[in-house]
Amino acid sequence: MKRLASITATLALTLLPFTAQAQDYASLIDEDFLRATFPFSEGESMKHADCEVKTVFTCTYIWGAPSDKDAARASLGLAPEGHRVMVMFAETNGMAAWPRATQTYPDGQDISGLGQAAMWSAARGQISVMTAENLLFHVNVEDFPQETATAVAAHILEGL
């Protein structure tokens, strides 16, 4: 959770005001794509899929085995526990925002072939991508490898 707060704070520094176009981002990832990209063990199902404007437009996907704790967490207004993938989108003023968006990556590795710029951070479990249209997005996969984050990022770029 501390990692997410740091990511959100960094994004807030790089944003332009969000527009209605953000709602289009919700359709970029569906359960079929997640099942094809991430391991779903037998008995696991999608428990939560939500896209909303927080500090930035954020989509959160959670899956796992059903648990008695899920209802208790929901009654407190919390998402269920499980495997989690988050995608955060921010419209920026271009590549000038890139250094600030990635400055908190202690181990940033440039990735070629994705958007105008892309960087992976194993410490953050996240890949960040800047598109030619000045859209910055972060794919946070925490418990999954770089290849999985890269596959999600490429899928998003194909859908934009």
Mean pLDDT in order along the chain per 10 residues (160 residues): 46 43 79 95 94 92 94 92 96 95 95 97 97 97 95 97
Residue 23 pLDDT: 53
108 touches 102 (CB < 8 A): yes
Residue 142 pLDDT: 86
Beta bridge partners of 40: none
First to last CA, the chain: 28
Q: How many CB atoms lie within 10 A of CB 124?
A: 24
Residue 20 pLDDT: 34
Q: How many CB atoms lie within 10 A of CB 58?
A: 23
Residue 21 pLDDT: 52
Domains of the chain: 2-159 (3.40.1000)
Residue 100 pLDDT: 94
